[in-house]
Structure 1
Amino acid sequence: MHFYWIKMTREQYILATQPNSLPRTEHPQFYPVGIYGWRKRCLYFFVLLLLVTMIVNLAMTIWILKVMNFTVDGMGNLRVTKKGIRLEGISEFLLPLYVKEIHSRKDSPLVLQSDRNVTVNARNHMGQLTGQLTVGADAVEAQCKRFEVRASDSGKVLFSADEDEIVIGADRLKVTGTEGAVFGHSVETPHIRAEPSQDLKLESPTRSLVMEAPRGVQVNAAAGDLKATCRKELHLQSTEGEIFLDADTIRLGNLPVGSFSSSSSSFSSSSSPSSSAPRQTIYELCACPNGKLYLSPAGAGSTCQSSSNICLWS
């Protein structure tokens, strides 16, 4: 048995199944498909607006790249190198800067500038402040356990300060002020020397001046005079030794002079010998029990008496 397939289109099938009473249309009707009217105009407007926005965005991006000087190595004065980040010219930081090392270019100084102050902080691994250096308009402050200033060549400590002591390691300490150096408490030093051709003066205007040393105090003026002046008493005391005065001439000025009378064996104090008596040119130096010195006219024997008026009234 053979079967034959008849291919018919959908329109032919529909027309074949319709009753003969319905009239057939000679021209088929077409229905338009798409966006028309105000919807189409809105779509074109949004597409145009998107295109304009993209063009403006691209132009602004190109302008920012040009103004900020973006390059492959960095932007503006900022350059990214293998050793780190390099800044050229003047750079301004508005927030804290955390770096490991800051150094300038060769043969160029490093300048840190601020309208108020420049503060450098050092912290430990826990974030606690261990050291601080503040450079302000009125003062330079350093807060640390120990402050040191070292020589650039040898690394020698020139100045160091901590809670216990201050050490000056320079070969010479020079004070150029007109008032000199003022110390509120004791000063310990092995040597005090003035500048060449300058006088050395140790003075205490309102209190006493004491110089002590376990092995002695030596005062030497190699090319000049040595002068000790005080308002009241000058004490030279040796508890276990002696006071040795070694000089070609030893002068004791303004010593009181006592007059000696052989009949009464008494003395009287006077500033000069009596005008009626013969001029006395030789005197004997006498000492009272309390240590006061006076002059007595020299005679065949000693004319010093412990009961003289000078010793009694001194």
Structure 2
Amino acid sequence: MKYPILRIAEDGSVPSKRLRVQKKTRAFSCTLLRSVCWPSYKSGTGKSFTATLRPIFLDYCGTESEHRAFTANLRTGRVASLDGDRTHIELLRSDPYVYAPPQRCEAGIRQIVYLPELFDLDPKQTNSETIAVVVMPPAALLNSVTPAELGAVSAALKLTNAAIDQERARIEAENVKRASSEDWYSRRPLAMPERLTLDIEALCYWALVARELSVRLDARTRFPIPQTPEFRALLLQTLYGLRLLALTDGNPLEALQAPGSYFYGRSSGGGLAVHGPGEWRANDDCGYLAPVALHIEQAKLGELLAELAKDYFNV
């Protein structure tokens, strides 16, 4: 597994946009474990190999001396170059990044840097007319999923497949009628929707993310959110279905998204980009689950919650 190296030149220089090789100079370096970017929320600069990323979350490690020097320079706003690439990472001093208390690990010291407005359970400012939140729980929390939470998402999946079966029956009957049409174009059969198949890990991911997202939304919105496992599962499924979530490629629940056309697989929330250790067809998630992000207006969220509450409570 290849672990990329972040380097900050002592003189503050960055690799040339024309040359891949950085000029020889003393540098401070650490190993990149995970960087999460949300371009539609916090955009960087440049394109392709010359991009400067401004991540919303950064996780790196190094020896005590490496960590101390690298972090001190990163705090000043200096740009870190990604080893073997012309991509850079920059944490603007004007942004309210939080440097979590360093933790000891096998490599030495591990450091996490993040934007509290997105990740904190209970943010300081909650009077904004827009809500932005990111959920990226550690994989170890999958063990905290309760039988009630797992049962709620399993029931939601069962109901969804029952609705798909009804739609498949309707389409099958329609295709029988179309087959007898004299118009060759009208004889073409309609496509059948596929039933959803989720393994136990995906179901646990659904239950965990539903819990974490609901709790964080409840702390950020002025509208009440029922904190029952069933409503949480329904809320997350609806956000997926309406394509309001920003996701990474290969999200375990991307099958819950309503099919699109040209933009299939994308959502109105944009996408999340994760950089970290990896090789061809192999990646190290460094203990994190796939992140999910939501950026929505308070009023729109209120309308959505009201509609879901009517269905949930049969009002």
TM-score of the aligned structures, taking structure 1 as reference length: 0.17
The answer to which structure, 1 or 2, has the higher relative contact order (CA under 8 A, 6+ apart) is 2
TM-score of the aligned structures, taking structure 2 as reference length: 0.17
